[in-house]
């Protein structure tokens, strides 16, 4: 039985949302998107007009291959050591500066880098026209669209439940529901015995570190219901900030960022209105063995909600970059990313790459091969990311899950997953969005066991410590499904190619 707010068909909904997204642009922009040459129909006079005329055919070529983006906007990376590059570039293109991204100090030597700026182009100039013109500009390293991305779709299975309704079917620990085949599969509900991540065996070694003492896990998602009784104690609040007083008490540039950061609206509102982020959070770290609800892979943890999506489940590159940079500059060690799309974006890739964090990324829900049809951010070839496919209760690749021998690293349970949803409730969801937080939770336990573990070691332990399955051979790089106990026991060799 399918119920709730989600479509009964993952695949069509994902395709639909990425293809028919309503343009958020004035009529003039829409017309120019359809025919970029229309907007420069006057005789070129100024230097800028001449440049646009000279690059018109290149602009048409870029336009033809353009993934969904915010119209009339562009992200520009200046060449290194360019004095006041941002202002002069904006002026030259008749654009206005929306923001200059702060590169947190942990990201490396600031002065050796160019600046990343976000521009609003003048009326009538399309993103493709600006990109074509900027290719010829010697002061610019790259210019990319402000791509828009969707939350990875997910499917609710059955009804939302109260804690009381759940209690009828519990096993050890005292809140391990028998619906949680992903943690401990004894063949219940038609599953296969031990097609699971061996969570009880892992919990004999560690159940995570107390809030504030272990690795900070940034959830770059739709926010979290921070009032959920299973999550509230595992969210790392910003102690320097007084909530809801309208003042940026800790002076970090964000007002009232107590529970986390809303990178889309640039404020402290991280309440989840979709269920997506709250479900992800519960898999990573619903409070464990507390006699209620469900159990997360980490019974205790330090979760950092970073909301990047608006209420329609959509976001753009600028918000994503702000979210990644916030995680990096506010002490996160891990990020989890259950979102994606088709637009490769150099600025997003660089934000991930320059962050010291290890980034978990969902492979996508179109059931396709990511080595043939790219999916981002999971396809970025970075030393510090892991891309995750989804399996079901019989250890088969889920029918909706994307895969890729080169671009997807590992599979994890992602079909029929029970976790927390807003309003203090629980629900079963399916999607690679649900698989990804299993790996994130496992990384949390690895770092609880050894806080000094490097990203390279974590990647090797996750990939080589999993259960190799013939049906995943050729589908994911490791050929394995996550086994958190196996990763905790695995001896590091230093042989996973970076």
The yes-or-no answer on residue 276 being catalytic is: yes
Q: Which of these, 472, 414, 200, 214, lies nearest to 334 by C-alpha position?
A: 214
When asked if residue 194 is in the footprint of Ca ion (CB under 5 A), the reply is yes
Q: Using the minimum distance from each CB to Ca ion, give the nearer residue, 226 or 380.
A: 226
Q: Using the minimum distance from each CB to Ca ion, give the nearer residue, 80 or 291.
A: 291
Burial class (CB in 10 A: 0-12, 13-18, 19+), 323: buried
Q: Using the minimum distance from each CB to Ca ion, give the nearer residue, 110 or 194.
A: 194
Q: Using the minimum distance from each CB to Ca ion, give the nearer residue, 252 or 457.
A: 252
When asked if residue 82 is in the footprint of Ca ion (CB under 5 A), the reply is no
Given a contact cutoff of 8 angstroms between Cβ atoms, the answer to whether 338 and 488 are in contact is no
From residue 165, alpha-carbon distances to 83, 175, 186, 292, 304 in Å are 63, 12, 21, 11, 29
Which stretch in 145-153, 282-290, 316-324, 387-395 sits in contact with Ca ion by CB under 5 A? 282-290
Convert residues 285-324 into a mask of x (bound to Ca ion by CB under 5 A) and - (unbound).
Answer: --x--x--x-------------------------------
Q: Return the half-sphere exposure (C-beta side, CA atoms, 13 A cut-off) of residue 26.
A: 9
Catalytic residue among 184, 276, 279, 375: 276
Burial class (CB in 10 A: 0-12, 13-18, 19+), 253: exposed
Q: Using the minimum distance from each CB to Ca ion, give the nearer residue, 175 or 416.
A: 175
With CB under 5 A as the contact rule, the residue among 257, 300, 419, 478 that binds Ca ion is 257
Give the E-state strand segments of 172-273 in sequence order.
176-177, 216-221, 261-262
Closest separation in Å from C-beta 248 to Ca ion = 4
Strand, helix or coil for residue 68 = coil
Which stretch in 133-141, 192-200, 420-428, 431-439 sits in contact with Ca ion by CB under 5 A? 192-200
Which stretch in 32-40, 124-132, 242-250, 459-467 sits in contact with Ca ion by CB under 5 A? 242-250
Convert residues 152-181 into a mask of x (bound to Ca ion by CB under 5 A) and - (unbound).
Answer: -----------------------x------
Give the E-state strand segments of 196-294 in sequence order.
216-221, 261-262
When asked if residue 195 is in the footprint of Ca ion (CB under 5 A), the reply is no
At residue 480, φ and ψ (nearest 5 deg) are: -130, 160
Burial class (CB in 10 A: 0-12, 13-18, 19+), 172: exposed
Closest separation in Å from C-beta 382 to Ca ion = 29
Strand, helix or coil for residue 346 = helix
- Write out the two tokens for 316: 């753009």
The yes-or-no answer on residue 221 being catalytic is: yes
How many degrees, rounded to 5, is the angle at CA 346 between CA 342 and CA 81? 170
The yes-or-no answer on residue 433 being catalytic is: yes
Q: Count the site residues for Ca ion by CB under 5 A.
A: 18
Residue nearest to Ca ion (CB): 175
Residues with active-site annotation: 221, 276, 433
Which residues contact Ca ion (rule: CB under 5 A)?
A: 175, 194, 196, 198, 241-242, 245, 247-250, 252, 254, 256-257, 287, 290, 293
């Amino acid at each position: 039985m399918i119920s709730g707010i989600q479509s009964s068909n993952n695949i069509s909904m994902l395709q639909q949302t990425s293809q028919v997204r309503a343009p958020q642009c004035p009529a003039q922009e829409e017309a120019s998107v359809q025919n970029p040459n229309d907007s420069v129909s006057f005789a070129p006079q100024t230097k800028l007009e001449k440049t646009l005329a000279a690059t018109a055919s290149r602009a048409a070529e870029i336009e033809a291959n353009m993934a969904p983006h915010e119209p009339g906007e562009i992200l520009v990376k200046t060449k290194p050591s360019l004095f006041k590059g941002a202002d002069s570039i904006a002026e030259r293109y008749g654009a206005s500066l929306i923001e200059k991204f702060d590169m947190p100090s942990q990201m490396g030597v600031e002065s050796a880098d160019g600046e990343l700026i976000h521009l609003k182009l003048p009326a009538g100039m399309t993103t493709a026209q600006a990109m074509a013109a900027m290719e010829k500009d010697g002061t610019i390293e790259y210019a990319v669209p402000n791509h828009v991305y969707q939350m990875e779709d997910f499917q609710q299975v059955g009804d939302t439940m109260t804690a009381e309704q759940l209690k009828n079917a519990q096993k050890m620990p005292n809140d391990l529901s028998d619906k949680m085949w992903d943690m401990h599969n004894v063949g219940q509900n038609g599953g296969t015995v031990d097609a699971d991540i061996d969570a009880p065996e892992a919990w004999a070694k560690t159940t995570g570190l107390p809030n504030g003492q272990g690795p900070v896990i940034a959830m770059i998602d739709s926010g979290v219901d921070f009032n959920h009784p299973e999550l509230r104690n595992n969210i790392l609040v910003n102690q320097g900030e007084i909530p809801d007083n309208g003042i940026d008490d800790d002076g970090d540039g964000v007002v009232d960022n107590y529970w986390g950061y809303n990178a889309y609206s640039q404020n402290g509102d991280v309440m989840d209105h979709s269920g997506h982020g709250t479900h992800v959070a519960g898999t990573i770290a619903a409070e464990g063995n507390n006699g209620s609800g469900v159990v997360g892979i980490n019974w205790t943890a330090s979760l950092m909600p970073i909301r990047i999506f608006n209420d329609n489940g959509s976001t753009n590159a600028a918000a994503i970059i702000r979210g990644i940079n916030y995680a990096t500059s506010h002490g996160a060690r891990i990020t989890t990313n259950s979102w994606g799309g088709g637009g490769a974006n150099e600025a997003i890739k660089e934000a991930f790459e320059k962050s010291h964090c290890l980034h978990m990324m969902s492979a996508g829900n179109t059931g396709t091969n990511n080595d043939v049809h790219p999916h981002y951010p999971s396809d970025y070839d970075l030393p510090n990311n892991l891309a995750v496919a989804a399996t079901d209760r019989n250890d088969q690749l889920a029918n909706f899950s994307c895969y890729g021998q080169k671009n997807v690293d590992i599979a994890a349970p992602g079909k029929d997953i029970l976790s927390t949803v807003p309003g203090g409730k629980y629900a079963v969801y399916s999607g690679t969005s649900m698989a990804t937080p299993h790996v994130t939770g496992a990384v949390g336990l690895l770092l609880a066991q050894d806080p000094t573990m490097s990203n390279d070691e974590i990647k090797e332990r996750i990939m080589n410590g999993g259960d190799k399955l013939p049906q995943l051979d050729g589908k994911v790089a490791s050929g394995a499904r996550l086994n958190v106990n196996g990763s905790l026991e695995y001896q590091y060799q230093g042989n996973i190619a970076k």
